[in-house]
Every structure is written in structure tokens, then in C-alpha cells.
Amino acid sequence: MKRYNFDNTNLPKVNPNEDLETISNNFFRPLFAIEKFEIRSETARDKGIDFHIELKKEQPDGAAVYTNFRFAVQLKATESIEANTNGSFSIQIYSSNINYLLNNGMPAFYVFYHAPTKSFYYENVNSFFAELQKKDVEWNKQEKHSLRFSKLLDAAAIAAIYNETFDNGILLRQLNQFLKFPVAEDKADGVIIDSNNEVYSVAENIAYIDQFGPDLINGHHFNFIIEIEQRSHPRAEVPPRFNLICGIAYFQRGNLYKAMELLKLAQQKLESFEPEIQAMLNYTLLNAKFLLGIINKQDFDDEISRINENQNSGSFFAIERAYKDLSSNRVKPEIGIKNFYKAIRSIVKKDGQNAHMRITAYAKILDAEVPLLFHDLELNFTYIIRYTKQPQESKAYREFLDIEKAYLKRMDLLTDFALKNKYFLGVSNLASAKIEWNYKKIFHKHLLSHWNDRSFDLSTPLYKEDLDSLTEGCEKLDKILYTYEMLEHHENMVSCLNTKYEIQHFIGKNDEAILVRNKIANIIESNDFVGLKTRQNELINGRTAHERFIEAYTLKINEIQDLIAKIGIEVPKDIPDDIYEREERNPDWTITTFFEFNFPDYSLINSKT
């Protein structure tokens, strides 16, 4: 039989991209169980949606029904794109495609297939849109945007997509009954949906925030405020307090760009607010600009100083004004701290029914006392550090321990008062401050006990009880960090992690410290906290609290020793070991009497912010 000669010179060529598309489609479909999903390919004049996937719902009798609740999928596939350094994959998405999917009226997802690993990744289009909007409200003017895929499309993700789509379908069904065709005399009015899927008018919602917004802020109901604001569209001009309240809520939740947008609108009607509210508005807006890196630290401080100069700016700024006066070093520390006590006492007396203000004022006192007390400890040790063999038995250190006992007792009383008033942010701040105090006490004690001629002996290991105490402190900081995360106070999260990093660096847990450093960087990056990068860079470049102490104290002591040698004073070498313990001068302390905290019956106090 004559063999047929196959002629392949005039046949359609195989397109590798089409093969990859087929392969990705074939692998994609089995991810969705047929009992719960009906996959329908979009084949006719596809403009950016590859699949509409309908949900099926099992009934009590075991039979399944079609729901007509659907979500859309745009599937991307590649064999050549390499992973980013963090393991994600970047794909360019057209703005027109983003808009097309947003107009779909149902949940929509981008799905990415990585052929070499046969892995699927996904991203919610609404989440992608929110990130774009956060970075640039005019994102639509740009042709393309980079979308980073990092979330695996696994069973848990598919279950979450099912639940989201089902809830969205139920919501739309309930919403439909409120939609009506407008008539000539109707005025267009939006609708709003709360967490229970109840529907309200935009006008009612704006009035609600305008009236009850301060109470919601005081109660830290930031998510509730944001939820209402996001569903209050379309809207025309609104009362300036609505923009102020919503701006503060967005700021507290770390959405700084949206916060700035609303706060600027409120600032246009600045004169409509009381002086104290004006100061709070300007302060929050400045803080957002600083965190975003729009203004530097010096400009921020200068602007805050101008706000503080206004005597009518309220109790919070009065506290800051008094603290700045203390920090200015215009008078001796012992006089400055007494003036500070006097200013705080006057503020608390004037605004005595504000529990949160009282807590803030007393916490500021504790904060102000820390550098003074440790500076005194360092100064008192300069008289004995070259000679004493038992520095922890010295009069200076024994008195410091008594001072510490009184200091921490006041801190515990204030923490208890904050807890009774349900001021959980204040409780977390005080708990973090207590751990930071312990870290500073231990590194001062350890280093000052191991001075060797002209430097600290950094090779000496910590006492086990001190190491255990600092390790326990790191564990407590993790719990505090969780509280900050629940409260969505991202700035406080960074501060908390800074303390943890310093402790781990001091006790030599370098691997753990690197993990904490990376976590700090991620929070700063994800929240665009450009203004906090300076402090992070300081920490990783030799500017932790213990490193700064080692540098400054070593320089100070050696300057003293050099001066003694220069003027020809000789210190005998045969002095008995205990002579300085027996003849030690009385230590000097800047604070001889602590400010006494006064706590009225917390049940009689109305807590305000």
C-alpha cells in the first residue's frame, strides 16, 4: 500500500498562548465542586470576563437549587513571569478592564495561573480598586496598573468566595424592594445598608453621624462610622462635622489618604468649629501628612508648636504644651518637673469629669519622669563606677529601687483606673510603657555593674532572672500588639514592636530581632507610614536605647577620666574595696516627691475624648 504523504505546509499554526489558555481553563474548572458551582464560560464577544460562576444551594431535603447569585472571573495565565522577592507575581491590568468588572454589579475576581507550579492565585477586584483609590484618586487616568497576586486559590479561599457571593446576593435581593422609578417631584436620595442589611436614606445617615458622631468616636466605633460613610453615596454638600468625624475614623483605621480627603473638606469650614475641635482637626491632618511623608519631622513639630500656642486649643494640647515646656530645658530639671506637675494639676482640675483626659495627663507625667529618673541614676553612678566592686549594693542603686517601687505603684493604679473606665487603648499603652521601663532598668543595672576601666564589658552575660524577665516582657508585648491590632491602632503597633526589637537586640536574640524588624517594615509599608521610617532606620543602625546609653555614657566617663589625668590628680590604687560603699555620698534625685494621682469614683465620671 502506498504511504500517504502528510502535507503540513498550509494548515493553521498552533498558538502556544491558546494552548496555555486551554490548559489553565481545564485545571481551573475542577477547583469548583459541581455540587455548589455552575461554571459558565463567557465566549461571545468576551470583553474582560472569562467565566460567570453561579452558586447552587443545598435544601433541607438534600436537593440543590440554582440561586442566580453569581460572581465573575477574569483568568490570566503565564509560563514566563518570575516571582517577586516576596513570592508574589505581578500582572499589568488595564484600567478599562477594572472598570468593566466593577460595573458587573456582582463580586468579581482576577485569577492568575502559574503554569510552572500549576498554582492558582486570586484577588478581589473591589480590594484591588480600593488600593488604587487609596494611592491615587485619579488612578483611572492611568492606562495600566500592576496587580500583585499572593493569595492562593485553595479550598478555604473558594469557600470564602462562595459565602461572599451568597451574602451579596441576599443583600441585593433585599435592596431591590427599595428601588423605585423617580417621578418629577421626587428628589434623588441614596440608600445605606448597615451590618444587619437594613436600608436607610443617605440623608438620615448624614444626620445620624452629624448628631452622634462624637459619641461614636469616643466609643472607638471607627469601623461603624466608615461603613456608614462608604454607603452614603451619592451625596451633595454635607455638614463639616460629618467630614470631620469620618476623617478621624479613617485616620484611626490607617486609611490616611481617605482621612486627608475628608479632613481637608472639614477644614474648609474650620471657623464653624469650636477652638478645641479646630485644634484636633488640624492636629490629625498634620499627623496624617507626617506619617505619609508629605511633611518632615521638623515641619510637623513647627506646626504642632503653633497649635499648642493657642490657649483655647483644649486640654490635650495644654498637656502637650506643658510637656514641651519641660523638655525645652529652659529651667533646671527639678524646677521644670515641679512646673509640669503644677500645669497638669490645673488641667485636671479644670476638666475633672473627663476620665480619658485624666488618664492621658497622668500617663504623660509618668512618661516625663522616666528620662529624669534614669539620668539621675547614671549621674549618681559616675561618682562610684570606677571604684565600686558591688554597684548593685550601692546607696544610689538601693534608693533607685525604692523610687522604682513608688513609680510602678502609681502606674499600676493608673492602669486599674483606665481599665475601670474601659479605656483599653490607655491600658495597652501603660502595659507597654511598664515593659519598656523594665528593659531600661535592666540594661542600666547590667551595664553600670560591668564597667571595665574605659568601657563596658559587653561580653558579660545577663543574670538569668533578668533574661527571663525580658523574655517574658516580649511575650507580653505580643499580647499588647494583638490588642493594638484589634483596635487597629497601627502607629501603636509600630511603637510596641520597636520596644520588642530593642529588647531582643539587647539580649542577643538576633534572628528574632530581624523578624520583628521586618514586621515593622511591613506595617510601615502597608500603611504608607513614611514618617516612621526614620525611627526604624535609627533602630537598625545602632540607635537602640541601650546602644545610645553605651555610647553617651562611655564618652562622658572617659572625658572625666581624661580631665582628672590632665590636671594631675592621682587616685591611689590601694584603696579598700568597700571604701566607696561605706563613704558614698548621698545620691541626688531630681524628683524628691512624686505627683500624687487622684482618682475620683470612676462610676461618676463621663468619659470623653
pLDDT tens per residue, range 90-118: 999 988 888 888 776 678 999 999 888 88
pLDDT value of residue 169: 75
Q: Which residues pair with 191 in a beta bridge?
A: 201
What is the tens place of the pLDDT at every residue in 223-256? 888 888 888 888 888 999 999 989 988 888 778 8
- CB environment 277-307: b (16+ within 10 A), e (fewer): bbbbbbbbbbbbbbbbeebeeeebeebbeeb
Class of domain 16-174: alpha beta
Locus of grid cell 520588642? 500
pLDDT value of residue 403: 95
What are the DSSP calls for 365-420, one per residue?
HHHHHHHHHHHHHHHHHTTTTTT-S-GGGSHHHHHHHHHHHHHHHHHHHHHHHHHH
Count other C-beta atoms under 10 Å from residue 535's C-beta.
16
pLDDT value of residue 606: 43
Q: How far apart are CA 599 and CA 37, in angstroms?
A: 61
Count other C-beta atoms under 10 Å from residue 363's C-beta.
19
What residue type is assigned to position 310 of the chain?
Answer: N
The lowest-confidence range among 62-66, 264-268, 316-320, 536-540 is: 316-320
pLDDT value of residue 372: 94
Q: What is the mean pLDDT of the chain?
A: 82
Question: The C-alpha cell of 273 is what?
Answer: 468649629
Q: How far apart are CA 131 and CA 127, in angstroms?
A: 6
Q: How far apart are CA 12 and CA 379, in angstroms?
A: 88
Averaged pLDDT, 533-544: 85
What is the tens place of the pLDDT at every residue in 187-197? 444 545 455 54
What is the tens place of the pLDDT at every residue in 355-405? 888 888 999 999 999 999 999 999 888 877 766 677 888 888 899 999 999
What residue type is assigned to position 599 of the chain?
Answer: F
Higher pLDDT, 437 or 523: 437
Confirm or reject CATH 1.10.3470 for domain 198-305, answering yes or no. Answer: no
pLDDT value of residue 603: 46
Q: How far apart are CA 106 and CA 443, in angstroms?
A: 58
The lowest-confidence range among 109-123, 310-324, 485-499, 566-580 is: 566-580
Q: Do domains 16-174 and 198-305 have the same CATH topology?
A: no
What residue type is assigned to position 166 of the chain?
Answer: F
Q: How far apart are CA 201 and CA 566, in angstroms?
A: 83
The answer to whether 440 and 367 have CB atoms below 8 angstroms apart is: no
What is the tens place of the pLDDT at every residue in 450-493? 888 888 989 999 999 999 999 999 999 998 988 888 777 888 89
pLDDT value of residue 16: 53
User: 108-114 and 64-78 as β-strands: parallel, antiparallel, unpaired?
Assistant: parallel
Q: Which residues pair with 78 in a beta bridge?
A: 114
38: DSSP letter: E
What residue type is assigned to position 534 of the chain?
Answer: T
Q: Nearest CA to 580 among 378, 386, 398, 447?
A: 386
Averaged pLDDT, 502-524: 92
pLDDT value of residue 173: 62
Averaged pLDDT, 120-127: 91
Reported confidence tier of residue 607, pLDDT bands at 50, 70, 90: very low
Q: Is the predicted pLDDT of residue 182 greater than 60, yes or no?
A: no
Q: Nearest CA to 496 among 1, 563, 487?
A: 487
Count other C-beta atoms under 10 Å from residue 104's C-beta.
15
- CB environment 370-407: b (16+ within 10 A), e (fewer): eebbbebbbebbebbbbebeebeebbbbebbeebeeeb
CA dihedral (368, 477, 521, 503) positive or negative: positive
Q: Nearest CA to 436 among 594, 589, 545?
A: 545
The answer to whether 304 and 286 have CB atoms below 8 angstroms apart is: yes
Q: What is the value of pTM for the model shown? A: 0.58
User: In the chain, where are the structural domains located?
Assistant: 16-174, 198-305, 379-604
Reported confidence tier of residue 3, pLDDT bands at 50, 70, 90: low
Reported confidence tier of residue 4, pLDDT bands at 50, 70, 90: low
